Structures are given as C-alpha cells and as structure tokens.
Amino acid sequence: MGSNLSVTETQYIKNEVRRIIADRLDIEEARVTPNAHFVDDLGADSLGLVELVLAFEEAFDIDISDDEAERIRKVKDVFRYVDKAVAERSS
C-alpha cells in the first residue's frame, strides 16, 4: 500500500474497515470486498455514506475532508485513505 505501516497494522485496518461497513450498512461482512462499490454493490445511500465517514474518522482518529469523502466510492478507497492517514499520523 505504499505506507510505512506493518503488515499487521494494515491487516487490522482492513478488518476494522470491513467490520464497520458491515455493521453500519447491516450487511454480511463477506459482501465487503475491496472492489465493492458502496452504492451499487452494498446499497449505501447518501446518509449511510456520511455515517460511514464519521465512523471511520472516530475509529481511526483521522479527519476525512468532504472532498476526500466524495472520492471514496469503493471499499479499497477507504483502505487506501485510512492506511495513508494513519501512517502520516504515526510518522
């Protein structure tokens, strides 16, 4: 992922992101794959997306700007963003 996080830290982020998405959208975690699109594949609406962003910010102690939030379309986008934000915070 191009960060200075350990494999364990990166895996923790992925697992936690999946758990948060499944919990907030009330879906099975197995549906939360890297290429899953929040609206088309996981059934998120605009309110659901806002709630997810807030949950990610709280869980990982990061800030996601409105511009960045609009760029998050797929689960892998969250993985990348959170991984980068946590790595930057840790350095």
Q: Which residues are designated catalytic? A: 45
Q: What is the DSSP letter of 6?
A: -
User: Which amino acid, 18?
Assistant: R
List of residues 6+ apart from 7 with CB closer than 8 A: none
CA distance 3 to 41: 28
Distance, C-alpha 45 to centroid of its chain:
16
